[in-house]
Amino acid sequence: MRGRTVLVTGATSGIGAETALGLARAGARVGIVGRDAARTQATAARIRAAVAGAVVDTFVADLASQAETRRLAAEVRARYSRLDVLVNNAGAIFDRHAVTVDGIERTWALDHLAYVLLSLELLDLLKASAPARIVNVASEAHRRGRIAFDDLGQAGHFSALSVYAQAKLGNVLFSAALARRLAGMGVTSNALHPGVIASGFAAGTGGWFGFGWRLIRPFMAKPEDGAVTSIHLASAGEVAGVTGAYFKACRPVAPSARARDPALQERVWTLSLDQLGLSDRGLA
């Protein structure tokens, strides 16, 4: 990865931090994105301490906000002359319904729409840096997901697991739709399942879900294990030309039948761009 530049979102802890560390060890210049400036700087310092000569840049943004995500993309474009890999990793699960400043249920906004918006805002830079890669951290939870087009936020019957699974299905659908549009452009788009990892992913979640998560957390895999597939998709030569796939344990596996449905992929693509106020940008 020497000479290559990578951007990792949600990189102040857990899988994101381990992904950034692993790619720095491989020689990449790494940009890390977090919501809190102090935590982001602290993570950068830890990576620099662990990897002699590591170049780590920090960016601060709340990716649940479309304006913040656009500002982040502008800062990345201003700072970097090239971007070889974008790892969309930031995400969370919430135990109660809430909407963002854009009026969108926050799980869908952070765990799905932020992937779409940041990828498209940085797409010209990625294409100019080809061969380049977009890596979307999804989840096996997508297999339980259904896109509730008429009630994405599920305000009246909110379920943390249901809206999370919906967003993770959105990741896989988006990855495939984007891969189709980028064919022949030198930019790949793949999604992955990192495993069930003991990280800060559900920190602060209350109710029965939060209780259950804390109960099983000691039996989960470590964050460094969860980063393995992200690092593989970001760096391995054997996947250089692979696109539109879904990976688990560094191997391509078939996602759910819904995730493989081209009509649903296109419908979610259109919905996502509508929510972001974007056009198809000629990527038909």
* 246 among known catalytic residues: no
Delineate the domains of the chain, giving CATH numbers in brackets.
5-276 (3.40.50.720)
Tens-digit pLDDT string for the chain (284 aa)? 999 999 999 999 999 999 999 999 999 999 999 999 999 999 999 999 999 999 999 999 999 999 999 999 999 999 999 999 999 999 999 989 999 999 999 999 999 999 999 999 999 999 999 999 999 999 999 999 999 999 998 888 899 999 999 999 999 999 999 999 999 999 999 999 997 654 455 555 555 555 554 554 454 556 678 899 999 999 999 999 999 999 999 999 999 999 999 999 999 999 999 999 998 765 65
H or E segment and range at residue 136: strand 132-137
How many C-beta neighbours within 10 Å does residue 261 have? 14
Q: Which two tokens stand for residue 3?
A: 């000479």
Q: Catalytic residue among 80, 115, 164, 246, which?
A: 164
Q: Please state the φ and ψ torsions of residue 119, each to the nearest 5 degrees.
A: -60, -45
pTM score of the predicted model: 0.91
The distance between the two most distant Cα atoms of the chain, rounded to a whole number of Å, is: 52
DSSP 222: P
Distance CA 114, CA 116 (A): 5
Are 235 and 23 spatial neighbours (Cβ–Cβ below 8 Å)? yes
